[in-house]
Structure 1
Amino acid sequence: MREVWGLLHNHEYLMTMLHSKREIFADLIGSCGQYYMTERLKQPLIHMQSEGLDTSFESWAARVHLAVGILELVEQLDEDDILICDVRHAHFGVNSGGKVKLVNLEGTLLRRVANAMTASGRPCSIDSDCALIDCRSICSPKTRVCDSHIVSTNLQVICEKIFLGWSTPDRIITPGLLMTVHTPHSIIALVRQCAQPPFPNDDLDERAEIVRSVSKRLDDALTELDNSLEAYRS
């Protein structure tokens, strides 16, 4: 009984159980006492990160197809109000059917839980003091406490850390999934806008509309590109 109680307090296990029908997390195979097992997933992001700049069209086609799969996953997460607050290459996997899923849920939270954590009222000096790893929030300029909900989106962080890569304001240092010699300038521009949306003011409704617009344009562009590269996918 003690082992079962321990499982019920395991964040990853509970998230996997609660969303088992959504196919957004690695499938739960079974449990024994305090231990549980999930399906084994390939992790192509780690492989692509370590393979260097493979300039073949086959590699480019695989990258675009994977990016489209990640966008589909993000759409499902957004529908379920789930935030990925710790975005890493190793946290994404692909099953035998080509479905992109999350394989590490330690930093994956329901939006209401993440919002409660960032709006805890703790003292702050700058916005990053209120962040929950990759989930960004705002330090109140008047009260200097963290009293705001999450202001970043899943796609925004994925565009920045996965699609774009490690960069400075003027150049890309470590290319991301979609940064290759084959990447059209239009895609690069959309990924940059996705990572750093051009917000003209603090109006939350206007910000949300800008994010939706950029997300749709990126989704449409990558889907069209993915279809055009189908012949290069093995």
Structure 2
Amino acid sequence: MKELDDLSEKLHLCDIKPDNFGLRDNGEVTLIDTDCALFEENLLMQFNHTNCTSHDDCDFFDCRGFCDTKTNKCLQERTNNNMQAVCEDVFVGYFPKMPTGLLRDPPGSIKVELFKLLQECSSPEVETDRQGVRQRVQPHTIKNLQELLHKSIGEQ
């Protein structure tokens, strides 16, 4: 996901699901369906709706928007990020109460810590004055998740 932030303009993946990714012969994950991948400027134009009554009205698929409920206008701002959408829709799955994602059945040695990190990744709780708005996953959570997954691969 880091590579997506190193482009001249940030690329937002707005339709995250396992079927949109493939695996190369060398083990790298690659995007195979990019119909809802938008550069920053194009995504912000998607958020430029005229009316909203809730934050959901401003969403563009998995790219979450923000509704200014004082003006009932969507702000041109994404409130989540690509990694958060991957955690939510690929790693955890579409049904959080009943995990269906890629990491739904981890080894017992990392299960508790992994589920805690996936919760932090998919639904971070960050102190903010914006009540009810999903916040971006924090870099330390991504780092801890990567380290845990690498460690668990080394144990096998």
**TM-score normalised by L of structure 1:** 0.59
Matched-pair identity in %: 24
Q: Map residues 43-192 of structure 1 onto 2, 5 A cutoff.
A: 74-80=1-7, 81-118=10-47, 120-168=48-96, 171-172=97-98, 174-180=99-105, 182-183=107-108, 184-192=111-119
Aligned residue identity for 1:180? D
* Aligned Cα root-mean-square deviation (Å): 1.8
> Would the aligned equivalents of 1:140 and 1:148 in 2 still touch at CA under 8 Å?
no
Q: Distance in 1 between matches of 2:152 and 2:32?
A: 27
Unaligned runs of 5+ in 1: 1-73, 230-234
Q: Distance in 1 between matches of 2:41 and 2:138?
A: 20
> Would the aligned equivalents of 2:49 and 2:58 in 1 still touch at CA under 8 Å?
no
Deviation digits for residues 68-109 of structure 1, max 9, x if unmatched?
xxxxxx111122221110011110001111111000110011
Q: Distance in 2 between matches of 1:133 and 1:112?
A: 16
Q: Distance in 2 between matches of 1:103 and 1:137?
A: 25
* Number of equivalent positions: 148
Higher helix share: 1
Q: Distance in 2 between matches of 1:221 and 1:211?
A: 16
The structure that has the greater radius of gyration is 1
Deviation of 1:116 (Å): 2.5
Which 4+ runs in 1 deviate beyond 3 A? none
Aligned residue identity for 2:51? P
Q: Distance in 2 between matches of 1:115 and 1:188?
A: 32
Q: Distance in 1 between matches of 2:5 and 2:75?
A: 22
> Would the aligned equivalents of 2:52 and 2:69 in 1 still touch at CA under 8 Å?
no
